[in-house]
Amino acid sequence: MPTTSHYMSTSIRFGFDPKSDDYKLVALTRLHDTVFENVGEVYSMRKGSWESITQPFPSHIRRIENTDQLCVDGHDGHLHWQNETEETIVAFDLGLETFREIPVPDSLLDSNHIAHRLGVLGGKLCEISWQKNGAWEVWVMEEYGMPELWVKRYVFPKFINDGWRFPFGFTSRNELLLVDCRGRLVLYDPISNKAKLTSTEQSAHRIVEYVDTLFWV
């Protein structure tokens, strides 16, 4: 990975570009000299080298949230980060190697919502929102890149009051992964409304699903 002279933090993400049939690493480094600046670099596994992303990162965004704990983002040719202000999502096209901003649902910006987390549900971009009354809402973008098509998919009432903490996100099987008050990982199926306690305690910041394959990446 290229070195930088003055950096504060680096977010590294992995994704697949179906246009070029290439796996890529994207590094966003937040520099701090006289002003804050986010610099992007991409590593192509086909080329075996790093290159700078020529399009500048949106200059008005000072910080991004790197919260893809389940590592399910990036399979459809795009990577995403939550703007720290939580007003927009920063999207990166792995094929074109360009940035764009996607607005979150308008209702997530009102005073009833404390925080929200970016995720993927059923292969679609989603936002999991925590409300002041303890409930969670799940919003799904039905067609990618069209913010007018955000749809509220689920409302989970008062999970926080029942000892649940804020969730990690959805797995590839559309189960919600969260942590109980004892630090144990729990899988919740929103269709059957059943929760399954796993034998694993929360001990890492990233959880990666393992899939068998005959191909070498």
Model confidence pLDDT, tens digit, residues 42-76? 999 999 999 999 998 887 887 777 655 556 678 78
Whether the predicted model's global pTM rises above the 0.75 cut = yes
Q: Rg for the chain (alpha carbons), in Å?
A: 18
163, containing H or E segment: none
Structure-model confidence comparison of residues 32 and 93, the more confident one: 93
**The pair of three-digit structure tokens given for residue 78, joined into one six-digit string:** 């795009």
**CA 22 centroid distance within chain:** 21
Render the burial of 178-206: b for 16+ CB within 10 Å, e for the rest.
Answer: bbbeeeebbebebeeeebeeeeeebeeee
pLDDT per position as a tens digit, 13-44: 889 999 999 999 999 888 765 456 778 999 99
pLDDT tens track for 187-212: 889 888 888 887 666 555 566 666 66
What is the DSSP-derived secondary structure letter of residue 77?
A: S
Q: Which domains does the chain have, with CATH numbers?
A: 104-217 (2.20.25)
Q: Which residues contact 61 (CB under 8 A, 6 or more apart)?
A: 38, 83, 84, 88, 90
